[in-house]
Amino acid sequence: MLTDMLKYAIYEYVPQRRLERSTFEQREIHRRVLDFKDGRNYAKLWAARSMALALSLVNLRDVAIVCIPASSRYSHIRRYKEFTRLLCSMTGAINGFDWIDVFSTREKRHLSEDRSKIDIMQNTRISSIVKGQKILVIDDVCTTCATADYFIDCLRRAGAHVCMAMFLAKTQQRRW
C-alpha cells in the first residue's frame, strides 16, 4: 500500500501548452526542469541543491537514493548519474544509482497515446542489493504519480523498504 508514504514535490511545473499564461518564475522552473532532463550540468547542480535543501532536516545516512528509470540507458545516465552523486554527497545518503540498470530503450511514457500500456520496467533491471534497503525514490516531474507508484511497487516486490518519493516538480493540474 502506497498511502503510508510521503510524496513531495519541490516546485510546480507548468506544461508547455500553458506557458504563455505563466509567470516569469514558472517559466524559469520549466526551463530548468527541461535542462535537467537534458542532462545539463548547471541544472543537475540546481536540482541536487534544491533537493538537498528540502531534505536538510532529514537524516539520510542509512537511506539509499534511487531514481525512477528514464526511457533509455543514455538518458538515465545523462540525467541521473552525476545528479545522484551530487545529492548523496550533500545529504550523506547512499548512492543507489548503480542498483537500477536501464539496458535498452523504450517508448517515452509521456509521448505515448496509451500511457497505461508503457511498462517502465520493460527495459530495466533492479539489483538484488535493494533487498532490505531503505530507499528514497526520486524523479524529475510527477504528473499523476502512476509511474512512481508502479516503480515503488517494483522496488517493494524486490524487497526494498521505500520510505519516501521526491520529485523536482509536480505538473500543475489547474485549468486556465
CATH code, domain carrying 13: 3.40.50
Does a structural domain hold residue 74? Answer: yes
The chain-wide mean pLDDT, for the chain, equals 89
| Mean per-residue pLDDT, 10-39 | 91
Residue 53 lies in a domain: yes
Question: Residue 118 — φ and ψ, nearest 5°?
Answer: -90, 115
Tell me the average pLDDT across 141-160: 93
Q: How confident is the model at residue 104 (pLDDT cuts 50, 70, 90)?
A: confident
pLDDT at 117: 46
Residues 84/90/95/100 CA torsion (nearest 10 deg): -20
Q: Is 67 contained in some domain?
A: yes
1 assigned to some structural domain: no
pLDDT score for 54? 96
> How many independent structural domains does the chain possess?
1
Q: CA 90, CA 53: separation in Å to the nearest integer?
A: 9
Identify the residue with better confidence: 100 or 117: 100
Check residue 16 and give its pLDDT. 84
Phi (first) and psi of residue 105, to 5 degrees: -110, 140
| Phi, psi of 23, deg, nearest 5 | -80, 170
Interval 29-77: pLDDT, tens: 999 999 999 999 999 999 999 999 999 999 999 999 999 999 899 999 9
pLDDT band at 150 (very low <50, low <70, confident <90, very high): very high
pTM of the predicted protein model:
0.88
pLDDT computed for residue 141 by the predictor: 94
C-alpha torsion 142→145→151→153, nearest 10: 160
* pLDDT at 78 exceeding the cut of 50: yes
Q: What is the mean pLDDT of residues 90-107?
A: 92
Please indicate, yes or no, if residue 111 is contained in any of the structural domains: no
DSSP of the chain, one letter per residue? --TTSEEEEEEEE--GGGGGGS-HHHHHHHHHHHHHHTT-HHHHHHHHHHHHHHTTTS--TTEEEEEPP-SSHHHHIIIIIHHHHHHHHHH--EE-GGGEEE-S----GGG-SSGGG--TTTTEEE-GGGTT-EEEEEEEEESSSHHHHHHHHHHHHTT-EEEEEEEEEEE-----
User: Residue 113: pLDDT band by 50, 70, 90 thresholds?
Assistant: low
Residue span of the structural domain in which 160 resides: 6-105+120-171
> Within a domain: residue 23?
yes
Q: Is residue 92 part of a domain?
A: yes
* pLDDT band at 119; cut points 50, 70, 90: confident
Angle at the Cα of 146 from the Cα atoms of 64 and 76, rounded to 5 degrees: 50
| 113 within domain boundaries | no
